[in-house]
Structure 1
Amino acid sequence: MSNVSKEDAWGCLENMSLDPQHLFKEEFMSADFAMSLSCMDWVYVFQSMHQIAVKNTEEYLRLEAISVMNVVLMRSNAFTEREKFGGAVVFEGIAQLLKKDASSHVQKKTLQMLYLLLNCPKLLGIFCSGCKVGEGDDAVNDERNSSSFKEFSFILDGLANCLSCCGNSFQDIEIRKKAVNFLAFLASSGKSGFEILVGHNLTGAPNFIVLMLHVLVSEIDAEVSVPVEPAEKVKARTLLIREALILLNRLVSNPGYSSTLLCILTAARDIASLTIDIASRLSQNDYRPGQLDSMTRKIRETEIPDLARVFKKRVWSYLGDKIS
């Protein structure tokens, strides 16, 4: 139990910058203040910041509040402490902060918060199970998951919004990359995470995998249509494409997932054509000299073509097996 009252905890925060870069630096703390922080009611702080984030529309207020929430989560132990921050109201707020009307900066920090929360194994289990409620006879009937299914579904819709945002700014590319990273995290969590990627119905796409294919082809087309772009955008798009290919290759090479995924990628003619088109175009060593730093150039010249060729080979092999 905390030794500091809620009023004292809030007073401590009012007297300090919300900037997470300064929040816990020793040079900004007196001994008494540091002692106050050590026994502060962090759940109350987290909930207070959550209220600020969801009740305000000003971007800077939302960003500051979410930043503090993320710092609080990072200082907690994912296995023994973090579960207490993951209440239903918090997940409702995350769904709200991932909506299309939120800025890409807010969405990016919110995805980080969701990632930190789901690094708690129990919260991850609740999330994955809750996403399955109502989807069939095998759905988990846990009462807490059932009551949260709507919020979890809205969160997945928000994740899809991040992945499919149509802007071409650096921040837009970054939020798409963060969404791909989050999908990779879900895929790494086991069968339940994989089932979210392939089983959750989205508006405009049957699942996250197909949506990611559309994102990939859009990124490829964007590079062709814009002859000269700032180096940071070229690098961000390069990293996005690489992360998406790494995820696809991980899934098609996994014995437990490959058959399901390859079936999704090839069952419909339009999706199969899209899959082959992406793999073929990215297999080519088609970089633009003079616009890439050494690391980005290496990724474009070597890593992306190699990843695309491996992916293409697995798809063609699967198609060949089906034909034979």
Structure 2
Amino acid sequence: MEGPCNRDIAISVSCVDWVSLFEAMHQIIVRNTEECVRLEAVSVMIVILMRSNAYMEREKFGKATVFESLSQLLRKEAGLRVQRHAVHLLYLLLNCPKLLVMFCSGSNEGGTAAVPVDDDARPQKFIKVLQGLADCVACSGNGIQELTLRRNAITVLAFLASSGKPGFEIFVRSKLYREANFIMLILQVLVSEIDIEETAVCVESPEIFKERTLLIREALILLNRLVSNPAYSVTVLWVLTNSRDMASLTIDIATRLSWEYQRHGHSDCITRQMRESEIVNLARVFRKRVFTYLGHNIS
């Protein structure tokens, strides 16, 4: 049974101007550089977005200035904890169909359908968000927070890549640092994680092993989804194999992850099963797709 106090709280919450509160938190981010202050403000923004309807309400929170600020929060200079929250905030914004269209089409106004655009025509605020997302994928460090950040950033990229042709074009065509693209970054992350495990002097903690396993799994699911998609597979396989370096990296990853992993340490049975079965199977499917494509081209 609801008491007077609960009714008063419900009434007061229903009267909150969530857009104004969201903008107030955004202004705190703009005016402050302290990590702890920004972290609290972004946390409130996330809560506000999570309580909003992605289809009916969330569009009004996605002003262009928010994306401009997001590009700063995603950069390594913002701090690891802020980056993690910024990735979550970006994911929630892009889950609004109209904001997703705006982001993919490079427009300041949401529409009903996104049209692919070149990086040259894409507004700088969106390009910088993508560069910030690349910072998160390529972040240094091997702790749980760094591994989680990389995994969450790849999750956002997977959402973009599977959202339709404009999102896929962003994933494949966006030029990042030194002419790299997101596919190359993900391959570099995978080979780095494999190298770290194989060269580790001592067995990692169960928590680190689990988070690294989840990261590798997320990356392989994304790669398999792309190389299996009838509309995109040829493009992705071409990107994966169009140069000697990319082809070597792709084959190296697919081959090494296809082997059964032996150094499980004290990992729990679910993580062990994921590593022994799911990741090995994902890697073998990926390897088969790549080898079939290469064989088709050679013949």
| TM-score of the pair, normalised by structure 2 | 0.92
Give the match for residue 298 of structure 1: 273
Q: Within 2, Cα distance between the matches of 1:51 and 1:290?
A: 47
Amino acid corresponding to residue 230 of structure 1 in structure 2: S
Do residues 231 (structure 1) and 203 (structure 2) align?
no
Q: Within 1, Cα distance between the matches of 2:268 and 2:117?
A: 49
Amino acid corresponding to residue 106 of structure 1 in structure 2: V
Q: Within 1, Cα distance between the matches of 2:262 and 2:52?
A: 43
Q: What are the equivalent positions in structure 2 for 1:274-313 lying under 5 Å apart?
A: 274-313=249-288
Q: Within 2, Cα distance between the matches of 1:205 and 1:165?
A: 18
Q: Within 1, Cα distance between the matches of 2:76 and 2:288?
A: 37
Task: Specify the SS of the correspondent of 1:273.
Answer: helix
Q: Within 2, Cα distance between the matches of 1:110 and 1:34?
A: 29
- How far off is 1:62 after superposition? 1.4
Give the match for residue 110 of structure 2: none
Q: Within 2, Cα distance between the matches of 1:291 and 1:210?
A: 32
- How far off is 1:54 after superposition? 3.0
Q: Within 2, Cα distance between the matches of 1:160 and 1:290?
A: 31
Give the match for residue 260 of structure 1: 235
Amino acid corresponding to residue 13 of structure 2 in structure 1: L
Amino acid corresponding to residue 91 of structure 1 in structure 2: F
Give the match for residue 7 of structure 2: 31
Q: Within 2, Cα distance between the matches of 1:197 and 1:59?
A: 29
**For each residue in 1:61-85, what CA deviation from the matched residue of structure 2 results, as whole angstroms up to 9, or x when unmatched?**
2121111101111111111111100
Give the match for residue 157 of structure 1: 131
Q: Within 1, Cα distance between the matches of 2:268 and 2:259?
A: 19
Q: What are the equivalent positions in structure 2 for 1:62-211 lying under 5 Å apart?
A: 62-130=38-106, 149-211=123-185
- Pick from 53, 56, 69 the counterpart of residue 29 of structure 2: 53
Q: Within 1, Cα distance between the matches of 2:69 and 2:140?
A: 23
Q: Contact 2:255–2:283 at 8 Å: present in 1 too?
A: yes
Q: Within 1, Cα distance between the matches of 2:257 and 2:116?
A: 38
Distance of aligned partners of 1:170 and 1:140 in 2 relative to their CA distance in 1, 3 Å threshold: closer
Q: Within 1, Cα distance between the matches of 2:163 and 2:233?
A: 16
Q: Contact 2:104–2:116 at 8 Å: present in 1 too?
A: no
Give the match for residue 111 of structure 2: none
Q: Contact 1:163–1:215 at 8 Å: present in 2 too?
A: yes
Give structure 1 stretches of 5+ with no counterpart: 1-25, 132-137
Q: Within 2, Cα distance between the matches of 1:302 and 1:225?
A: 22
Task: Specify the SS of the correspondent of 1:101.
Answer: helix
Q: Within 1, Cα distance between the matches of 2:47 and 2:143?
A: 27
Give the match for residue 250 of structure 1: 225
- How far off is 1:205 after superposition? 4.7
When the two chains are superposed, the root-mean-square deviation of aligned CA atoms in Å is: 1.9
- How far off is 1:139 after superposition? 5.8
**For each residue in 1:256-313, what CA deviation from the matched residue of structure 2 results, as whole angstroms up to 9, or x when unmatched?**
0000000001110011000000000000002313331111100111011110010000
Q: Within 2, Cα distance between the matches of 1:287 and 1:194?
A: 36
Q: Within 2, Cα distance between the matches of 1:254 and 1:169?
A: 33
Give structure 2 stretches of 5+ with no counterpart: 108-114
**For each residue in 1:166-214, what CA deviation from the matched residue of structure 2 results, as whole angstroms up to 9, or x when unmatched?**
1111111110001111111111211111111110001035210111000
Q: Within 2, Cα distance between the matches of 1:121 and 1:276?
A: 36
Q: Count how many residue pairs are aligned between Structure 1 and Structure 2.
A: 287
Q: What are the equivalent positions in structure 2 for 1:13-32 lying under 5 Å apart?
A: 31-32=7-8
